Amino acid sequence: MNAHAGIAKTDTTSGPLLQVHGLSHWYGERMGCIDVDLEIWPGEVLAIVGESGSGKTTLLNCVSGRMQPTGGRIDYRGRDGRMQDLGALTEAERRYLMRTDWGFVHQNPADGLRMSVSAGANVGERLMAVGNRHYGRIRETALDWLGRVEIADDRIDDQPTTFSGGMRQRLQIARNLVTGPRLVFMDEPTGGLDVSVQARLLDLLRGLVGELGLSAIIVTHDLAVARLLSQRILVMKEGRVIESGLTDRVLDDPQAPYTQLLVSSILQA
């Protein structure tokens, strides 16, 4: 089996990969996010930034199907080229989409891994979920992906409980990317890691996203992460998008006072 079979290629000719229209989510009477519009194109990385409590994680969870929005619509372009309303999918169709076309990288790797099974099994389980059954090929593909995320071959049978935080995050990335998803959601993927480990992980992510032609939506409070990984950026405050545009333009010439404050706080740090 080709270890890279099924990898999504960048295709910008068919229109946006995903479109969000007027998305809102309320926790009872408390607003999580309100009236958000966004789109992401094939091969594009979009960063969602803001302080804690700005609504960025709520937005990510709603768009990725992990949380049911209170209002709005999310349309996704399937591999057949047709846009589909995600709200109209059955639960089985939604689970299949999440196993095949989508991936989700958690801030805490333990939330995205099975800590009681080996590194190889964590990668292999995702392959089995999309129909792979040949043990030898599954193990071969797992070894290939462990190598791609800089985990040594001789760790394939070790459990993630024996890995460092950075290794666990790299394993979670391999688990998500092994099936060739078209869109990956990342929630603070470098959060909680030492600075040197963050830098190594960011270099790895940037290389894989470019190599595979992935689309990605990344939530981060770190503007340096947004600048390094994304082409476009959304700035959120109190549940609303207050500024958006090309990442370099927004960060180099912010228009909204809140964005100016975020940028200046980084420059003064």
Predicted confidence pLDDT, tens digits, the chain (269 residues): 333 333 344 444 479 999 999 999 999 999 999 999 999 999 999 999 999 999 999 999 999 999 999 999 999 999 899 999 999 999 899 988 998 899 999 999 999 999 999 999 999 999 998 888 899 999 999 999 999 999 999 999 999 999 999 999 999 999 999 999 999 999 999 988 898 899 999 999 999 999 999 999 999 999 999 999 999 999 999 999 999 999 999 999 999 999 999 999 876 65
Per-residue 3-state assignment (H helix, E strand, C coil) for 5-56:
CCCCCCCCCCCCCEEEEEEEEEECCEEEEEEEEEEECCCCEEEEECCCCCCH
Q: Are 215 and 44 in contact (CB under 8 A)?
A: yes
State the pTM of this model.
Answer: 0.91
Residue type, 115: M
Q: Are 6 and 179 in contact (CB under 8 A)?
A: yes
In angstroms, rounded to a whole number, what is the distance separating the alpha carbons of residues 50 and 53? 8
User: Could you tell me whether strands 45-49 and 30-40 are parallel, antiparallel, or unpaired per DSSP bridges?
Assistant: unpaired
